[in-house]
Amino acid sequence: MATPVPFDIAERQQALAAQRRQAIEDAVPGTTGEVIARVVNGFDEQALKLIDAGVAMGDRLDHALLAAARTNRGNLMQKLIARGAPFAEMEAEVYGAAAAQGSIAVLRALGDCDPNAPDALGWPPLFHAAVNGQSMALDHLLDARADRHLRDPQGFTAAGRAARAGQHAIADRLKPMDLPPDLETLDLASLDNLFIAAARGNRPSAFEPLIRAGADLSVLGGKALCAAAGAGAIDAVRRLLVFEVPVMAAGEGGEHALLAAGRVAFGNEALIDLLMAWGAEGEVAQLKAEGLHGSAARVARGLATRALFKAVWDDSAAGIAAAIADGADVNGRLCFAVTYLEGRRYEGSDSALIRAAATGRIKAVEQLLKVPGVDLDAESGLPFDTALMRAVNFGAREIALMLVTAGADPRRPGRLTGRSPLDVAVMQNDLMLIGRFKRWRGGQP
């Protein structure tokens, strides 16, 4: 079995430092550009000190205000406004920037603003959320009474723009329902047929109305999941899994969704990855027997990734090395359903590094940091935590120090809460972490 290539963490620190500090180094000192560069790179306190020293006048801080919105720095945004940043003139641009990035904390702070005001592109915030696939931001805006029927200057609705951007699940949610108006009067067989048709047609927005009308997922779920997988309808598959249809539920003839996905014409790697992340059992032998070698290889990769998560749970450095050598994706996911926002269901997920940090697996974290390409700042699914945030939240101080030494960003705010690992360390009065995090310079110890 091959041994993973050793990776020099100090070398990575230097590379990250160079990348993250380049904008600051290139900015002309004593200009608005320097202020903006520090905001973009997370050095909020330094940016505010420069403003207070008169380096940049408040009415020239429009770009800094947008940067704060894009990076979910709600507190910084309020401080910039207090120093004269032109919020009234920039309201629509800020709202759109926050929607595009899914910055939930900033969207909440903008609750009194008009959700239908267009920006310079003629786009209200809903358009930005739609084309960027920000489903939770979309829910927030619709709850704030954003109008899904508005059109931009070119005549497109948010649904039309989402479809052109390849965000088909979002487009489906924003389009009018293609369902009979009298669902409650239909018999169960008719509801089942409509449900299967929606699954095959990749129209997950039809599921909830049909369920409310009486469609029974405990009976219908497996058939719908396999029908969607066989049609390559990844958005419908994802929604059914979020509704907690068992990933190995049998469809027609006892076939499972993974086998159906493996038979999709030309293969469907993203769909296979999704099913494996939700716990599908491998069908490698049968796929190979049918000549579907590409699909079989993708399933084998998913099984290796699952072995990686088991090695993380066992805190086994050797197990992690073996899984990586077998082809595991170091940034692969385990997925699960999460309920949030008035009972709405979303997809939650963890990477191996996030799971190791959350469960205090020190050996696992140390080994994962040696793997080339491991994403230090990857977010979980809802609630969008990084590995560093999980380590700080769960009191895994040694792991937090390992992560920040490797280059994880302690100043990065969470999309949901707007708080960074540094903010949480301050709330916990953890003086060691506060001092270390404040000394962070983009990967440099």
Greatest CA separation for the chain: 73
Tens digits of per-residue pLDDT, 163-191?
A: 999 898 899 888 877 777 788 888 888 98
pLDDT at 99: 92
Other Cβ atoms within 10 Å of 13 Cβ, number: 18
**Sign of the CA dihedral 184, 186, 189, 193?**
negative
pLDDT at 199: 94
Domain assignments of the chain as residue spans, ordered by start: 27-154, 187-325
CB-CB contact of 199 with 236 (8 Å):
yes
Q: Which CATH number fits domain 27-154: 2.40.10.120, 2.60.40.420, 1.25.40.20, 3.40.50.150?
A: 1.25.40.20
pLDDT at 439: 85
pLDDT at 294: 83
| Assigned CATH for 187-325 | 1.25.40.20
Q: Give the C-alpha separation, 125 to 19, whole Å.
A: 30
CA atoms within 13 A on the CB side of 40: 18
**Which residues of the chain have a pLDDT value below 70?**
1-30, 56-60, 265-267, 341-342, 441-445
pLDDT at 131: 94
pLDDT at 424: 94
* Measured torsion, CA atoms of residues 319, 325, 330, 332, in degrees rounded to the nearest 10: -90
Other Cβ atoms within 10 Å of 25 Cβ, number: 8
Amino acid at 247: V
Q: Give the C-alpha separation, 64 to 98, whole Å.
A: 13
Tens digits of per-residue pLDDT, 396-418?
A: 999 999 999 998 999 888 888 88
pLDDT at 426: 93
CB-CB contact of 345 with 242 (8 Å):
yes
Fold: same for 27-154 and 187-325: yes
